[in-house]
């Protein structure tokens, strides 16, 4: 770490200061002033960071303690929003929460494990073919849900003109067309498939790059130490070596799972989704914030989501994060 800029300004103020806190503040101020170039470099990012991430998170917490309908100024009501959420919001408890849980477990850990396995498999292939495979696995994650909705809608269309229905009826699996995106029994499944399809993203690339970069001599050393098969190789050599990238992948996967929350509304074309079958926490927030204009309540739901997100990430750090002996 190199220290920058010793040109630092000299304070012309010369007051008699008692040694102690005043002195220390002054020294700190001088240090800060010396580093002004560093702060100038950090400032543009930090301002945007504060305005669009830091302040919104704090504001969400404050708003969650109020009743706010965007017309009257927010009124402080303590924890009532949270109490309502836990005791009175039947839709949240019986539909949104279980839906989100099911969706998150399949798409989060499911998609994550799939990314790791695929990353490992792709890394075993050599040359141009690997590039081609990487490309075709990563491509879906680049296609925005809204760009693909044109395709999903005709593919999963509920009548017999729908491509999937037509195909399945043709080969004799179905007798009657299924209304994939409007039938509450199917919407969630379609949401999961569509999201998993697009989940080989940045995390997948990171893990693949990590696996490709594992020092080959480690594998040789492992063989001498008695590693007998590929599975042991993965367990004892690859995973420990790629742990940092796996953690990055896990963080990206948690964020990605959350961001996929609007897919149910995109597919079914309505919020709330049919009989709340595809309603996830994000849709619930949207519903209260921009349809019912109960901003305070929506903020409380957001805070719960942020907390859950944070705890999930803690879990990921505990699993893959650096240990004391690393």
Partner 1 sequence: MRVAGRSIRIDTTQVIIGLLLTLLAAFMALPIVFIFMQAFKPLSELFLYPPRFYVMNPTLQNFSRLLTTLDVAVVPAVRYVFNSVIATAAAVTAVLFVSTTVAYALSKHDFPGRKLILDMTIVALMFAPQAVLIPRFLLIQRLHLYNTYFAHVLPFVAAPVSVFLLKQFIDQVPDEMILAARVDGASEWQIIFRVVAPICRPALATVGLLAFQGVWNSMETSTYYIRSEAMKTLPFFLGTLTSAMTNNVAGQGAAAAAGLLMFLPNLLMFLVLQSKVVQTMAHSGLK
- Interface residue with partner 1 among 143, 185, 235, 319 (CB under 8 A) is 143
- What residues from 10 to 29 belong to the interface with partner 1 (CB under 8 A)? 28
Taking the least distance from each CB to partner 1, the nearer of 17 and 53 is: 53
Q: How many CB atoms lie within 10 A of CB 56?
A: 14
Q: CB under 8 Å to 278, separation ≥6 — which residues?
A: 99, 187, 188, 191, 263, 264, 265, 267, 268
Cβ 146 vs Cβ 266: under 8 Å:
yes
Q: Does residue 153 belong to the site contacting partner 1 (CB under 8 A)?
A: yes
Q: Which stretch binds partner 1 (CB under 8 A): 11-19, 94-102, 103-111, 119-127?
A: 119-127
CA distance linking residue 276 with residue 302, whole number of Å: 19
Q: Which stretch binds partner 1 (CB under 8 A): 15-23, 80-88, 95-103, 296-304?
A: 296-304
CB of 162 to partner 1, least distance (A): 8
Q: Which stretch binds partner 1 (CB under 8 A): 18-26, 88-96, 232-240, 304-312?
A: 304-312
Taking the least distance from each CB to partner 1, the nearer of 74 and 184 is: 74
CA distance linking residue 247 with residue 314, whole number of Å: 11
Tokens of 18: 């008692």
**Distance set, CA 127 to CA 13, 38, 102, 132, 208 (Å):** 67, 43, 39, 9, 14
Q: Which stretch binds partner 1 (CB under 8 A): 85-93, 94-102, 184-192, 294-302?
A: 294-302
- What residues from 83 to 102 belong to the interface with partner 1 (CB under 8 A)? none
CB of 289 to partner 1, least distance (A): 5
Q: Does residue 135 belong to the site contacting partner 1 (CB under 8 A)?
A: yes
Length, in residues, of the chain: 326
Taking the least distance from each CB to partner 1, the nearer of 151 and 185 is: 151
- What residues from 212 to 271 belong to the interface with partner 1 (CB under 8 A)? 212-213, 230, 242-245, 247-248, 251-252, 254-255, 258-259, 261-262, 266, 269
DSSP sequence for 52-107: IIIHHHHHHHHHTTEE--SSSPPEE-TTHHHHHHHHT-HHIIIIIHHHHHHHHHII
Taking the least distance from each CB to partner 1, the nearer of 14 and 217 is: 217
- What residues from 194 to 213 belong to the interface with partner 1 (CB under 8 A)? 197, 200, 202, 205-206, 208-210, 212-213
Tokens of 270: 């309505």
Q: Does residue 71 belong to the site contacting partner 1 (CB under 8 A)?
A: no
Q: How many CA atoms lie within 13 A of 311 on its CB side?
A: 6
- Site size for partner 1, by CB under 8 A? 110
CA distance linking residue 48 with residue 187, whole number of Å: 38
CA distance linking residue 194 with residue 196, whole number of Å: 6
Cβ 189 vs Cβ 267: under 8 Å:
no
- Interface residue with partner 1 among 9, 20, 44, 78 (CB under 8 A) is 44
Taking the least distance from each CB to partner 1, the nearer of 56 and 110 is: 56
């Amino acid at each position: 770490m190199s220290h920058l800029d010793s040109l630092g300004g000299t304070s012309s103020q010369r007051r008699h200061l008692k040694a102690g806190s005043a002195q220390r503040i002054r020294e700190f101020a001088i240090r800060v002033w010396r580093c002004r170039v560093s702060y100038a470099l950090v400032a543009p990012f930090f301002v945007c960071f504060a305005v669009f991430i830091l302040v919104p998170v704090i504001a969400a917490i404050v708003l969650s303690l109020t009743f706010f309908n965007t017309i009257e100024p927010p009124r402080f009501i303590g924890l009532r929003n949270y109490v309502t959420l836990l005791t009175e919001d039947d839709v949240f408890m019986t539909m949104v929460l279980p839906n989100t849980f099911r969706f998150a477990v399949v798409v989060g850990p499911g998609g994550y494990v799939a990314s790791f396995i695929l990353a490992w498999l792709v890394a075993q292939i050599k040359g141009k073919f690997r590039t081609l495979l990487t490309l075709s696995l990563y491509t879906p994650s680049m296609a925005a849900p809204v760009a693909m909705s044109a395709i999903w809608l005709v593919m999963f269309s509920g009548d017999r003109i729908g491509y999937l229905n037509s195909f399945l009826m043709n080969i004799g699996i179905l007798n009657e067309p299924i209304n994939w995106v409007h039938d509450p029994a199917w919407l969630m499944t379609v949401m999961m498939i569509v999201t998993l399809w697009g989940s080989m993203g940045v995390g997948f690339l990171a893990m693949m790059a990590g696996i490709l970069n594992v020092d080959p001599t480690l594998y040789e050393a492992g063989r001498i130490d008695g590693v007998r098969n590929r599975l042991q190789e993965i367990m004892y050599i690859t995973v420990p070596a790629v742990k940092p990238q796996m953690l990055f992948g896990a963080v990206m996967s948690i964020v990605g799972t959350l961001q996929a929350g609007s897919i149910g509304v995109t597919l079914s074309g309505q919020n709330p989704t049919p009989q709340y079958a595809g309603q996830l926490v994000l849709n619930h927030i949207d519903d209260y914030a921009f349809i019912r204009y109960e901003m305070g309540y929506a903020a409380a739901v957001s805070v719960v989501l942020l907390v859950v997100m944070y705890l999930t990430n803690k879990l990921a750090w505990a699993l893959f994060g650096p240990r004391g002996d690393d």
